[in-house]
Amino acid sequence: MKRVLGIETSCDETAVAVVEADGAAPPRVLGEAVASQIEKHKPFGGVVPEVAVREHLHHLPQLVPQVLLQAGTRLSQLDAISVTEGPGLAPCLLIGNSYARALAVSTDKVIGGVNHLEGHLFSPFLSCQRKVEFPFVGLIVSGGHTLLVTVYDWDRYVRLGATADDAAGEAFDKIARLLGFPYPGGPSIEHIARSGNPDAYDFPRAFPDKSNFNFSFSGLKTSVRYFYEKNPQAHKDGQWVADICASFQRAVVDVIAQKSVLAVKHAGGATLAASGGVVCNGALRQALQLACTKNGIELLLADPELCTDNAVMIAATAAMKFEAGREPKVSTDINPGLSLFTAEPTGELARGLAFAQKIKHRSDAKPS
Ligand code: KG4
Ligand code: ZN
């Protein structure tokens, strides 16, 4: 039995959780809290690192005792302290890491670093009350990442596909800004799209071929931008805006659902585990469910509160790995660009990735 405190400060949520894992069942959540900073960043249209740092500094020392109390746990009863080591915003990661290290030193506890993406990867198992079983294909769709990964075992993660340019969440946020909706854009686009026609405009879907599982959303984003700028009616007429939102959302959702199914088939897997902020999106959840059912794939979806950033996923990942015999360790530094992958793809997949990189360099050279 391992009882672990988790701390997550990689971006704009300060989150703390205590979980307990016994290796037989999914970890039990004893206490948790998330202090969201969305309202503080809204006026700026995106996350401002300096604002985020101040918020983390303010909330973290309050949340830790509050969550320990909620969990009925004294520091001395913890088996380990876990903290997000990367990827994320450097100054934000530093707050969580400095706090976690100080706590570990002063209480003589072991400390383990967790990859933020690894947390997302395993969160569907927590929501579905399932013990992690390997192998499976993980889909992470967030503000910073769009990833497909084959998970063979703890720490054996092989890339199937990744975005060559914008992450899906980033595309939602940028289109929302174009249309005048507040940050974060995903929830507003989803809301407006409900009264729109998803077949109104045929926005482009990138990489529809079967040989690679990479994503690209910059062409779609540019196409929506040109369409909006060329049609002044869309600036005044709510129905035009709703149709644009619905058609854009449909284009994103189609590509993700289609690629995910192809990736699971390619990997010879039977299970897809989906997580990350964009997986809160009802249209995406529905499309994934439909595509998986049609293709005989089991779908595990993280609950919306575990899709967005939280510390349950960090504490639970650390506790499950500890219970499975992986001793917690933390590197001497944070790593804002920390990769999830332990092995690079070969053959057809590698060629697909090289192609994606070429496109990215070309699109980076143009204003978007
Ligand atoms: O996983 P997350 O909380 O943070 C990162 O690690 O990036 O994801 C945040 C992203 C934002 O881009 C936000 O717009 C998007 O998730 N998002 C959504 C929805 N809810 C959040 N995108 C589409 N539909 C939603 N309902
Ligand atoms: Zn995240």
- pLDDT tens sequence across 307-323: 999 999 999 999 999 99
Looking at the chain, the whole-number percentage of residues with pLDDT higher than 70 is: 91
Coil, helix or strand at residue 117? helix
Residue 293 predicted with pLDDT over 60: yes
The DSSP string of 326-342 is ------SS--TT----S
Give, for 317, the enclosing helix (H) or strand (E).
Answer: helix 312-323
Q: Is the CB of 278 under 6 A from ligand 1?
A: yes
Q: How confident is the model at residue 366 (pLDDT cuts 50, 70, 90)?
A: very low
Q: What mean pLDDT comes out for the span 165-173?
A: 94
Angular region, 149: left φ>0, alpha ψ -120 to 50, beta rest: beta
88, two tokens: 């994320």
Which of 142, 249, 309 is the best mutation target for the ligand 1 pocket, counting ligand atoms within 8 Å of the beta carbon and taking the most? 142
Q: Which atom from ligand 1 is nearest to the alpha carbon of 183?
A: 14
275 or 231, higher pLDDT: 275
Return phi, psi of residue 181, to 5°.
-95, 155
* C-alpha of residue 277 to centroid of ligand 1, in Å: 3
Q: How confident is the model at residue 347 (pLDDT cuts 50, 70, 90)?
A: low
Q: Quote the CA–CA distance of 305 and 70 in Å, as a whole number.
A: 18
What is the predicted pLDDT for the residue at 343? 56
Q: How confident is the model at residue 126 (pLDDT cuts 50, 70, 90)?
A: very high
Q: How confident is the model at residue 333 (pLDDT cuts 50, 70, 90)?
A: confident
Q: Is the CB of 119 under 6 A from ligand 1?
A: no
* Tens digits of residue pLDDT in 211-264: 789 999 999 999 999 999 999 888 888 999 999 999 999 999 999 999 999 999
- Adjacent-strand bridge partners of 29: 19
Ligand nearest to the CA of 13: 1
Q: How confident is the model at residue 365 (pLDDT cuts 50, 70, 90)?
A: very low
Q: What mean pLDDT comes out for the span 22-36?
A: 92
Q: What mean pLDDT comes out for the span 180-189?
A: 93
Is there a contact between 167 and 145 (Cβ–Cβ < 8 Å)?
yes
What contacts 339, CB < 8 A, 6 or more positions away? 87
* C-alpha of residue 185 to centroid of ligand 1, in Å: 8
Residue 368 predicted with pLDDT over 90: no
Q: Is the CB of 216 under 6 A from ligand 1?
A: no
* C-alpha of residue 227 to centroid of ligand 2, in Å: 31
Ligand nearest to the CA of 46: 1
Residue 360 predicted with pLDDT over 60: no
Pairing of strands 80-86, 136-141: unpaired
Q: Quote the CA–CA distance of 291 and 55 in Å, as a whole number.
A: 40
Least confident of 50-59, 71-80, 179-188, 337-346: 337-346
Q: Residue with structure tokens 């050279």?
A: 365
Chain-wide mean pLDDT for the chain? 91
* Nearest of 72, 55, 74 to residue 12 by alpha carbon: 55
